[in-house]
Chain A
Amino acid sequence: MENSNALASEKIIQDLLPQKFGTKGKVFVGVLLAFCLVGLFAYYRQLRYGLVVTAMRDYVSWGIYISNFVFFVAISLVGSLITAVFRLANVEWSKPLTRIAEIIAVAAIIFASLIIIVDMGSPERFYFLFLYGRIQSPIMWDVIVITTYFFISILLLYYPLLPDLKILLRFKEKSGKGLNKLYKFLGSYWKETPHQIKLGDKAINILCITIIPVAFSIHTVTSWLFATTYRPGWDSTNFGAYFISGAFLVGAGSVVVAMYIFRKAYSLEQYITPKHFEKMGRIVVLLALLYLYFNINEYLVPAFKMKKSEEAHLNGLFAGDYAPLFWFAILTGMIIPIIILLFKKGRRPVPAFIAGIMVVVGAWFKRYLIVTPTMLHPFMPMYNVPESYHHYFPSWEEWAIAIGSLAGTMLVITILGRIFPIIPIQETINEQHETVA
């Protein structure tokens, strides 16, 4: 018995140690890097000429940078869902997914912070937020909670990594010199003494509890950037809950996508099993139904009243210029994934992966629809302004920066998945022991 356990452990370690990029991996990283570089060039142009290189003008003064920001903040919420909520609820099956979720959370929150700086007209004055910050402004609330969330997420990624770092340090020859130095720097003090284990568990518990209210705060406050204004489509008391439910949905969708890709790329079929897709599929259905519920609230109630100020905005979404995109986002982001994932066959890895992609794509466009159409329906008529002020379609620089930031997020996820075991090794071993015993 003892012997088979040892064997199993060795096999698990060999399976789960970080693997070097193959050809596909290298090409993937290369493509992502290329997108990032194009985005950086576009940002250089924006720094040089000003926000005039974007399609934003005085009416649509927030465009895809802001909707992209909302999207990133939304995705990052998944860290708290999979890691914290499931851990506190003692959900055993989610353990192999915790690191994927935390990596996504950290990558997304980094790019949320970057994209908001990109949106600033005078980014060289970023430090004014700390020098002259007004606590009364919802932007300051966002700065505070996002910074807090960033650090909690980093720690929540780091602490559970410590036992794995100890294992990684045992396989110096496999990881190579550079990585080994990093592992040493990060985890050489971890000797796995009972005292350390106790402290580590305690820290993780505290972080899991604190991250939940902070996660709710980051997305609620982000929704308030809109809801604290008077504009039709934003002036809603529903916004906090609406944003949170949408965030959990896109986060869960992105985890399904990421676990499918990591499973394929690193041959983790034994660790990320159809059971995981089955369970995550159920969660996505639940969250999509919840988000659909909030959408119905958000659109049906004002549409029933059709207040003058809301009328043009709502008609534009339901049957006007934005109707194709609106119905695309509703169908792709919620209804079709719900239909796919309601069936047992739909929760197998491939269809679940497709549903996950639909959720994520639908969610990106949904954020765009929350930001832009509202800005085209101000209270005062749009009159005697240049033609370009009347509509908004992102310029190539905006697309390049937005796509570059998405590529950057994927790059960070890929690199973290290259450096660290994407599935917690020690936890998998412990679990294995428990099942055998």
Chain B
Amino acid sequence: MTQDNNSRREFLLAGLFAAGAAVGCSPKKDVFEAGAEPGVQASGKKVKLLSVDGKVIEVDEAFLKPVPELPPVTNSEARLGIAGKKFVMVIDLSRCKNLRKCQEACDTMHHVNPGQHWVKVYPMQDADHTSPYWEPTTCMHCDEPPCVKVCPVDATFKRQDGIVLIDSDRCIGCRFCMAACPYSTRVFNWAAPDISAELAKLPYSCETSVPQKKGTVGKCDFCADMSRKGELPHCVSACPNGTFFFGDMNEDTVSNGSETFRFSDLIRDKAGYRLMEDLGTKPSVYYLPPVSRNFPFEPGVDSDLKNKL
């Protein structure tokens, strides 16, 4: 499904690109011929496209050019982050029923090793007589990140937009960050990652965290590449219940894709909190307490929950 969406989007964009290139060119048989590569002949097969001003136009298929991918972000740009942003996440515990679609999407998009997860969903109970609830966790992207403090080689770092990332080309695999993180966020590539050879050959990008490398640490990256494109992280868009909200604290807005809230109002009205506030790590992930729940606490995808607890 995601695959289909992507290819359709690319196709539309390709059309727009071609249309844009044609403006102001000398008239030919097909206006789009001007922007075509030399030697390309019209195939006669037309496709319908939506132009910039909202008109449906027909273009010969042969003149469509794929839009080049956004230039890859350099390591130093990826380490700097996006200026003027401060990314935050809000997780509404009243909406989670442990479907783990977030986890699935994350595992797929980041090629996380089987058995390991960057997004985790825990059955939690605060005290003996209080009600249990499901708690999804991502990396907390702390403002005082204990992992970054202890890293000896600057392999994990905090960006100006608040995101904590890992440079797998830098990580020496000492695992001090894993010991330091109180949220059990980090996982390690104990063996060579279970990914295709082509994927493994790609240059590593801190923003996509792909490809993972043997002997280095991995974790949730807040989908920094998606934020750069102005899109929501994969876990946010994958959740059918709209549990995850993502946004920019400077804009004071968070969205789960279908609903958008003023971040400060949401946190104030619903008594938002952060995990282990007493440790002083200042997470960028906020939780809304599991009150007025949409679902009762049920095993969800964990049918054998009783055995696991």
Taking Cβ atoms with an 8 Å cutoff, the residues of A that contact B are 49-52, 54, 56-59, 61-62, 119-123, 125-126, 128-129, 131-134, 136-140, 143, 225-226, 228-231, 375, 378-386
**Which B residues between 237 and 289 are near A, CB-CB below 8 angstroms?**
276, 279
Question: Cβ of A131: which chain B residues have Cβ within 8 Å of it?
Answer: 153
Question: Which residues on A sit within 8 Å (CB–CB) of B173?
Answer: 51, 120-123, 125
Does A51 lie within 8 Å of B188, measured CB to CB? yes
Q: List B178-237 residues whose CB lies under 8 Å from chain A.
A: 178-180, 182-184, 186-192, 213-217
Residues of B within 8 Å of A128, CB to CB, are 153, 170, 172
Contact A231–B179 (Cβ < 8 Å)? yes
Q: Looking at the complex, which of B13-21, B43-51, B115-123 is the stretch in contact with chain A?
A: B115-123
Stretch from B65-73, B85-93, B144-152 at the A interface: B144-152
- How far does the Cβ of B283 sit from chain A's closest Cβ, in whole Å? 13
B308 close to A137 (CB less than 8 A) = no
In contact, B152 and A51 (Cβ under 8 angstroms): no
Q: A134 contacts which chain B residues (CB < 8 A)? A: 151-154
Residues of B within 8 A of A59 (CB): 184
Residues B179 and A61 in contact, CB atoms below 8 Å apart: yes
**Docked-complex contact A119 and B184, CB < 8 angstroms:** no
In the complex, chain B residues 288-309 whose Cβ is within 8 Å of any chain A Cβ: 302, 308
Structural contact, B179 and A121, CB atoms closer than 8 A: no
Task: Determine the distance from Cα of A133 to Cα of B152 in the docked complex, in whole angstroms.
Answer: 6
Closest to A51 in B: B190
Known A-B contacts: A121-B171, A134-B151, A380-B122. Give 20 more (CB < 8 A). Answer: A51-B190, A61-B178, A120-B172, A120-B215, A125-B170, A134-B152, A136-B149, A139-B150, A143-B152, A225-B176, A228-B180, A229-B146, A229-B150, A230-B146, A378-B184, A379-B184, A384-B117, A384-B120, A384-B121, A385-B115
Contacts of B192 in A (CB 8 A): 49-50
Bound together, the chains give a CA A139 to CA B187 distance in angstroms of 20
Inter-subunit contact B183/A380 (CB<8 Å): yes
Chain A nearest CB, measured from B132 CB (Å): 12
Collect the chain A residues with CB atoms within 8 Å of residue B178's CB.
58, 61
For the residues of A in contact with B, the DSSP-based class is: loop
Q: In the complex the two chains form, what is the Cα distance from A363 to B217 in whole Å?
A: 31
| Complexed CA–CA distance, A231 and B184 (Å) | 11
Q: How far is the CB of A375 from chain B (nearest CB, A)?
A: 7
Interface presence of B175 (CB below 8 A): yes
A60 to chain B, nearest CB (A): 10
Binary CB contact string for chain B from 104 to 132 against chain A (1 if under 8 A, 0 otherwise): 00000000000111001111100000000
A50 with B154: CB separation less than 8 A: no
**B268 to chain A: closest CB distance in Å?**
27
Let me know if A121 and B172 touch, CB within 8 A: yes
Is there a chain A Cβ closer than 8 Å to B137's Cβ? yes
User: Which of B122, B150, B215 is close to A122, meaning CB atoms less than 8 Å apart?
Assistant: B215
When distances are taken between beta carbons in the complex, the residues of chain B under 8 Å from A133 are 152-153
> CB distance B302 to A384 under 8 Å?
yes
User: What separation, in Å, do the CA atoms of A363 and B152 have in the docked complex?
Assistant: 28
Chain A CB within 8 A of B25 CB: no
Minimum CB–CB distance from B138 to chain A (whole Å) comes to 12
B57 on interface, CB distance cutoff 8 Å: no
CA distance A52 to B187 in the complex (A): 13
